[in-house]
Amino acid sequence: MKGSDRVATPISASPVWKSSARDFARDLDLSTEEVANLLELAREIKRHPARFRTALSGRYLSLLFEKPSLRTRLTFELAIKQLGGDSIVSNGPIAAREPLKDVARNLDRWTNGIVARTFLQSTIDELARWSAVPVINALSDLFHPCQALADVLTLQEHLGELHGKKIAFLGDGNNVAHSLMITATRLGMDFALAHPEGYAPSAEVVSDAAAGAAISGASITITTEPQEALAGAHAVYTDVWASMGQEDQAGERQKRFEDYQVSAERFAQARPDAVFMHCLPAKRGQETTDEVMESPRSVVFDQAENRLHAQKALLLMMLG
């Protein structure tokens, strides 16, 4: 442990780091300024974790998981524990035995926040509607906002100033692409998505992202041509071709997405110093190759680590 950490006194989040958002159900629940403050706080937590070890003492989280999880579950459990609080976990369909509104109003009597990883965005929205404590979207079919926060934190570490940089996403216009598009462009990054026909992102999400990009001066490119998206990219991102719940589409998707694999040859179409990103878990040999995953320019495990720090900052802002 560093000497500065050993002698530091515990502190709570500064008022500037307090979020005005009631919930974090979708990326736009945090203002652009709040996202910037969160990233600043996450860097501070990462540098000096011991200073925050009692910041959420006596606070408890409900963790609800309809989908299996490694990074999301463990990083949220570690985050609240390392901030002095604790968590309880429930696996399986959230409303299998009783209405969502009843689940929400039970949990808000027992805990200080609800983190939910669900199939449907409507599940997150309904929990937020009925809960008196903050609800955090840990993944839905429409958004993955906590992943995007860790991603831009990682990009700041490797690229420095984000304004004017470009990130290219190859593959499905899915929840990861949605959140990354909104968050990166609000911070001034140009965003390009190359997808096969029929797998475009939500038009509504693109419209929301474009509104933020217009303010920051960023650009958004949606194309079916990987080389167009990759040209001049400082970061190249991909995700699995078939997510949980899409297993019956896996064969068809594998055929449709073959040209969007981030191989070494594809990766070389970006800038020579571009970094490679993936939210994990990765299917090596499908959306990317082992060679790219293990490349010195792969930052996938930095992204995974930064889930912990970004989520600590988020919990401090929402519960602190």
E-strand ranges in 129-278 read 135-139, 166-170, 190-194, 220-223, 235-238, 275-278
d(CA 228, CA 261): 14
The CATH class, in words, for 3-144+307-319 is alpha beta
Calculate mean pLDDT across residues 224-230. Answer: 98
d(CA 15, CA 38): 12
CA R_g for the chain: 19
Among candidate residues 71, 117, 253, 278, the one labeled active-site is 117
Among candidate residues 141, 307, 309, 311, the one labeled active-site is 307
Catalytic (active site) residue 47: no
- Residue of 58, 208, 98 lying closest to 145 (CA atoms): 208
3-class DSSP state for residue 117?
strand
Among candidate residues 59, 73, 147, 151, the one labeled active-site is 147
Q: What percent of the chain has pLDDT over 70?
A: 95
**Is the distance from CB of 158 to CB of 299 less than 8 angstroms?**
yes
pLDDT digits (tens, 9 = 90+) for 139-162: 999 999 999 999 999 999 999 999
The domain defined by 147-302 folds into: Rossmann fold (3.40.50)
Catalytic (active site) residue 307: yes
Distances (CA, A) of 118 to 174, 275, 284, 315: 14, 30, 25, 19
The pLDDT assigned to 148 comes to 98
Lowest mean pLDDT among 5-19, 180-194, 196-210: 5-19
Residue ranges of domains in the chain: 3-144+307-319, 147-302
Among candidate residues 144, 178, 266, 309, the one labeled active-site is 144
pLDDT digits (tens, 9 = 90+) for 20-61: 889 999 999 999 999 999 999 999 999 999 999 999 999 999
The pLDDT assigned to 12 comes to 42
Catalytic (active site) residue 43: no
pLDDT digits (tens, 9 = 90+) for 279-320: 999 999 999 999 999 999 999 999 999 999 999 999 999 998
pLDDT digits (tens, 9 = 90+) for 64-113: 999 999 999 999 999 999 999 999 999 999 999 999 999 999 999 999 99
Instruction: Annotate 263-311 with DSSP letters as a single string.
Output: -HHHHTTS-TTPEEEE-S---BTTTB-HHHHTSTTB-HHHHHHHHHHHH
Catalytic (active site) residue 279: yes
Q: Examine domains 3-144+307-319 and 147-302 and report if their fold is the same.
A: yes
